[in-house]
């Protein structure tokens, strides 16, 4: 097991023999490190934290430390990190605040200085660019991309395959399959490139574009638009997912573009 002589591994930690631990790393007693994972210099991993296989954790990352929550009283919580996750320099991933774990799914890429707060749940393939910041209890769907210096309010949900511009923030839920931008954040279009990369069928993509036009380009309210979507668009799984996202939102989903911003919004047409 290639562990640098300056690393501190507390009794009880479970480290796969193929993992690599760099200089001055500190690993707590309830940590598990999977096969092939590499931990860079000066990183700290604590809590009831599990790191999966083939992860790359770069210098000075911090995973599983106490949450930034004044109600936290030392509960034995932690982080669950999947396989093939990349964690760049100075990233912080905090343990859950009351019970359970903060979750980072397989194949996520957390760039330098990004922050995943207590009780967040990141799906598979999520990308957070430099300085992107999630408050507590945020849920992020699979293959969402967050650009730099993004700020997300606590308890917000972000649907899968969302692409969010940098230097923005949201207090409201952001729907799946969308491109979002602005201050406040608004839906600006449909994430066609992301859907193509995930090999979504052309007819499904076309149905999603039609649904977004009904929601964001019509004079109908959200309730009316969702009913119309169910009546007029084939119930592909993505359409069911989209409608369910709006109906189950507790914070509300980001609203329509303002009239003077309509020209900037791009919802495409029915064809690819």
Catalytically annotated residues: 118-119, 136
CA separation for the pair 200, 204 (Å, rounded)? 7
Q: Is the peptide bond before 184 cis (omega within 30 degrees of 0)?
A: yes
- Tokens, residue 113: 């200085």
Burial of 262 (0-12, 13-18, 19+ CB in 10 A): exposed
Are 248 and 226 contacting, i.e. CB atoms less than 8 angstroms apart?
no
| Residues near 19 by beta carbon (within 8 Å), at least 6 away in sequence | 1, 2, 33, 34, 35, 36, 37, 38, 39
Structure letter (DSSP) for residue 83: S
- The residue with tokens 């949450």 is 67
Tokens 């009794």 -> residue? 11
Inter-helix orientation angle 222-232/202-216, to 10°:
150
Task: Look at the chain and count its residues.
Answer: 272
Name the token pair of 182: 């602005």
């Amino acid at each position: 097991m290639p562990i640098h002589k300056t690393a501190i591994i507390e009794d009880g930690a479970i480290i796969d023999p193929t993992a690599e631990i760099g200089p001055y790393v500190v690993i707590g007693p309830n940590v598990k490190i999977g096969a092939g994972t590499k931990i860079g210099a000066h990183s700290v991993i604590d809590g009831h934290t599990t790191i999966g296989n083939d992860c790359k954790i770069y210098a000075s990352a911090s995973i599983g430390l106490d949450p930034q929550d004044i109600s936290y009283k030392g509960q034995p919580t932690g982080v669950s990190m999947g396989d093939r996750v990349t964690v760049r320099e100075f990233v912080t991933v905090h343990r859950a605040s009351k019970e359970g774990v903060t979750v980072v799914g397989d194949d996520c890429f957390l760039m330098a200085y990004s922050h995943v707060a207590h009780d967040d749940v990141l799906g598979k393939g999520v990308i957070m660019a430099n300085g992107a910041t999630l408050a507590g209890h945020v849920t992020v769907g699979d293959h969402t991309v967050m650009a730099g210096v993004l700020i997300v309010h606590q308890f917000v949900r972000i649907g899968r395959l969302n692409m969010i511009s940098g230097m923005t923030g949201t207090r409201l839920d952001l729907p799946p399959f969308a491109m979002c931008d602005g201050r406040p954040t608004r839906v600006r279009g449909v994430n066609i490139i992301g859907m193509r990369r995930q090999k979504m069928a052309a007819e499904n993509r076309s149905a999603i574009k039609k649904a977004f036009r009904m929601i964001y380009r019509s004079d109908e309210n959200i309730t009316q638009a969702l009913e119309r979507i169910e009546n007029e668009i084939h119930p592909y799984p993505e359409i069911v997912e989209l409608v369910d996202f709006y109906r189950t939102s507790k914070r509300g989903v980001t609203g329509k573009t303002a009239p003077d911003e309509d020209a900037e919004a791009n919802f495409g047409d029915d064809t690819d």
